[in-house]
Amino acid sequence: MTKLEADQLVRHHIHGEGFVVADLGPTVLARFGTAIHQVERESISLQRSLETALLGGQMDDSRAVLCRAQALAIASVNDQWGVFSRSRVQLLPHQLWVCRQVTRAWPIRWLVADDVGLGKTIEAGLILEPLIASGRVRRVLVLAPARLVPQWRARMKTMFDIRLQEFTADSDRGRISFWETAHQVVASFHTLRMEKPRKRLLQAEPWDLVIVDEAHHFQAQERAATLTYGLLRELQDAGRIDSLVLFTGTPHRGKDFGFLALMQLVRPDLFDPEKEMKEQLSALPNAMIRNNKALVTDLDGNKLFRPVVTRSVDYGFSEAEAEFYHTMSEFIIDGRAYAASLSGRQQTARMLLLIALQKLAASSIAAITRALRRRRAMLANSLLDATPRDISEPETFDEIAEAEEARPSETAVLLMQDEIARLDEILALSTEIDRETKIATLLDLIERDLPEGEPLLLFTEYKATQALVHEALEARFGKGCVGFINGDERLVVTSATGAETAIVLSRDSAAEDFNAGRTRFLISTEAGGEGIDLQERCAVLVHIDMPWNPMRLHQRVGRLNRYGQKRAVSVFLLRNPETVEARIWSLLQEKLARIQETLSASMDDPEDISQLVIGMAGSQFFDDIYSQGSMRSGSGLAGWFDQSTQQFGGRDAVETVRAMLGNVARYDFQSAGAEIPKLDLPALEPFFRNAMALAGRRVTKGDEGLSVATPEAWRGSIELRDRYDALTFDRFMRSDHSLTRLVGVGHPLLDRAISHSMDQPVFLSRARGISAPLLVAQVEDEITGTGATVHRIVVGIDGTGDMAVALRDWELLMRLNELEPIENTEDSPSPAECAALDELCEKLAATVLVSDLPFRRPKLRRIIALFPEPQSIDGSSIKP
């Protein structure tokens, strides 16, 4: 073999295709992908390349060259952006941007803190699907709260055809560990905190990628790690996590230590909770992403979300309700006074009980009356125990609400010496109330202010209030018009005759019925505040009661104010201004508005930061404000509130939020809009037809879609069927159609066509649709070991002189899709055409498009050249 020149294309029987770095005589130094190997000269063979084809004037089959160019462009686009992933949903620019940002380097290490409703599940699928398709990720573990585990499993399957196995305690009881056979898993992180599952997980094979939802649960307390944080830390320290992506809408929960401990899990090389926050802010753009609704756009730069319109609907108590509320308030105040005289666990148990009673009273008279009746029965029949039993911490908002509803009848401690007599007085007053003004106001609102038949989403905290609203809506608007969502998917309602009936309805069925229009109303507890999309028909929401933590209102509205919503969302808040809860709520909203105004004045980009400030405060802060506020009244409440909330949203909090938001990475249409691929799955169809034609198969189109027989040479693989019918490139195919019909990267037939076309040793041909040479090149980083997940990016250029246009990979694909192959011709490129090609290569190498690619030392190699079809004497194309 003659001396090999640098950059000559060679093939090795183990390392595959590569380029010569240096000929060392008996051995050759060659680059294969991102690795450089010194191999024996006899182990490599010189391969044909574009350069050798040009020197020899050897033309290739036009369709084969076009197919290879299209396949290379498709792979390049999808490796960076995931835009050709097989998903049923419309992919948005910020989601594609997140995918590219997160997957630029390996191992992946990011915290994604996008606003609610921006599609974190889609972002996770876009990140995961190309990595699985390329073989980079084999073992993936998704950790989520128990209530969201079924949703993650369902959405990954229906949106991306990624099939996650659900871990349960029952699935891991045998001698063989569940983790030995499961490679793509979704599990509740609360379940994995238990000793046996935790131990087996720590002994399992390492995970290529771990994805964590609701990652704020993993924040550490100073010098006292939580169980969930400890789980992730142990996996990390045991070397069981290669790549890690965390998702949370509230990354900072009030303590810099907890936030930095979370960031340390993501990037231990950049963050340390023992150091000052301000010293580490400059590292955030390399590890944290946050996009918000005010800034995200479509591909044309149009804002995707409209402002939410919120309106308070005030009502007043009837005389009987006012007396009940006043008496109940005095009972709670007296109970607090008695509790204050105690200490330790005895005081804590009573304070928790009083908070539960206050919340129930604010929700509805039905809710508090039901709880008081059960408590009265318990007190009359139980031997009181002054030492309360330990109660495990509830995991979800619904479990918290259920615990609060149950606490009055389970906490066997006296609130005051004459409690039974006091309860009898309150319960007697409840019998004087024949209807609740809040519910009457709701019915009037529906009939007076909403169009006839307008779908309506309603939220309550407690099932007793949920049942009350269910009964009222059916009584007014007809049986079967209402669905419900709650934690245990069961609701006990009372008929007009007093008979109780238990209704069982799954969360998914309730949402499906509501979205399909089979029910007009959907009443949800906090179980519907996360992980469910209800924007298909509905744009109106009513808060029946006000949760003490304002974060829950943001999450509730997020069920409607998300991508796909066609109207501005209207929100109604039912409140009685005379109650202490309503007055505290108003004071809290005024303070949040002032904080927002202060921060917005010093920010370049608008953002609703209330949820971040609220998240920093924590739930206990709001419990304290409302429960202690019940002791105040009149003009003194405002002064007390200002004194008690000095730290809430104070300078430290505002500065923390400003600093955090000012340093994170985020999608910006002005800077990133031009890079975002402006194409979708239909851009794959020209390649698919070309590839099938090249393999001797004809693609036919029928009413249900495309049909084609699998090429004979590709058969025998267990992944491929002999024939495919009703194929489509339309993401918005009917929901009852199998995802196997949707053609995108990850579909076995398309994947085989791409890999087969990319491997063809074809480089040079002519094509119809161009009037000057079109050059396809690939750019790679000369530096190895950078950790990049994308090693090569395909680019192109066509035209002549000053009219030559450099093309990104997705622009190149669109250009290639306009071309048609021609029958083989022996017309080799002329010297003038070769010179024009050289000029194009020089122009492309000098473009910003190449220099701005994410490579330290980008090196361009031309790989395919397409020339115009031959011209006749009169200048017209010679058509076969």
The DSSP annotation for 784-814 comes to ----BS--EEEEEEESSGGG-EEE-HHHHHH
Tell me, yes or no, whether 265 lies in a domain.
yes
Tell me, yes or no, whether 127 lies in a domain.
yes
Domain final residue pick, 371, 406, 428 = 428
Task: Please tell me the predicted confidence (pLDDT) of residue 580.
Answer: 87
Tell me, yes or no, whether 394 lies in a domain.
yes
Residue 307 per-residue DSSP state: P
Tell me, yes or no, whether 34 lies in a domain.
yes
Q: Are 199 and 282 part of one and the same domain?
A: yes
Cα distance between residue 455 and residue 446, in whole Å = 10
Q: What is the pTM (predicted TM-score) of this model? A: 0.80
Q: Are 13 and 43 in contact (CB under 8 A)?
A: yes
Q: What is the DSSP string of 682-713?
A: GGGHHHHHHHHHHTT---EEETTEEEEEPPGG
Task: Please tell me the predicted confidence (pLDDT) of residue 714.
Answer: 93
Q: What is the DSSP string of 840-871?
A: HHHHHHTSHHHHTSS-SSEEEEEEEEEEEPPB
Domain final residue pick, 407, 428, 449 = 428
* Cβ contacts of 517 within 8 Å, gap of 6 or more: 455, 537
Cα distance between residue 200 and residue 180, in whole Å = 10
Q: Are 154 and 27 part of one and the same domain?
A: no
- Domain count for the chain, please give it: 3
Q: Are 249 and 326 part of one and the same domain?
A: no
Q: Residue 448: is it exposed, middle or buried by C-beta count within 10 angstroms (0-12/13-18/19+)? A: exposed
Q: Are 159 and 101 part of one and the same domain?
A: yes
Domain final residue pick, 428, 462, 488 = 428
- Cα-atom radius of gyration of the chain, to the nearest Å? 32
Q: Are 257 and 324 part of one and the same domain?
A: no
Q: Are 214 and 359 part of one and the same domain?
A: no
Q: Are 29 and 90 part of one and the same domain?
A: no
Bond before 107 cis per omega within 30 degrees:
yes
Task: Please tell me the predicted confidence (pLDDT) of residue 396.
Answer: 64
Task: Please tell me the predicted confidence (pLDDT) of residue 391.
Answer: 43
- CA dihedral (119, 120, 121, 123) in degrees, to 10, reads 90
Q: Are 278 and 330 part of one and the same domain?
A: no
Q: What is the CATH number of the domain that holds 217?
A: 3.40.50.10810
Tell me, yes or no, whether 232 lies in a domain.
yes
Q: Are 107 and 244 part of one and the same domain?
A: yes
Q: Which domain covers residue 92, as residue numbers?
A: 84-289
- The two tokens of residue 379 are 């007190």
Helices first, then strands: H and E counts in the chain: 28, 29
Tell me, yes or no, whether 77 lies in a domain.
no
Task: Please tell me the predicted confidence (pLDDT) of residue 389.
Answer: 45
Q: Are 114 and 92 in contact (CB under 8 A)?
A: no
Residue 715 per-residue DSSP state: T
Residues of the chain under the 50 pLDDT cut: 384-392, 873-875, 879-880
Q: Are 126 and 32 part of one and the same domain?
A: no
Tell me, yes or no, whether 301 lies in a domain.
no
* Cβ-count burial 740-778 (b if 16+ within 10 Å, e if not): ebbbbbbbbbbebbbebbeeeebbbbbbebbebbbbbbb
Chain position carrying tokens 């008695």: 338
Residue 260 per-residue DSSP state: H
Q: Are 251 and 130 part of one and the same domain?
A: yes
Query: What stretches of 436-515 adopt beta strand conformation (E)?
Result: 456-459, 482-485, 490-494, 500-504
Tell me, yes or no, whether 243 lies in a domain.
yes
Q: Are 351 and 219 part of one and the same domain?
A: no
* Cβ contacts of 350 within 8 Å, gap of 6 or more: 335, 338, 339, 342, 411, 413, 415
Task: Please tell me the predicted confidence (pLDDT) of residue 305.
Answer: 86
Query: What stretches of 377-516 adopt beta strand conformation (E)?
Result: 456-459, 482-485, 490-494, 500-504
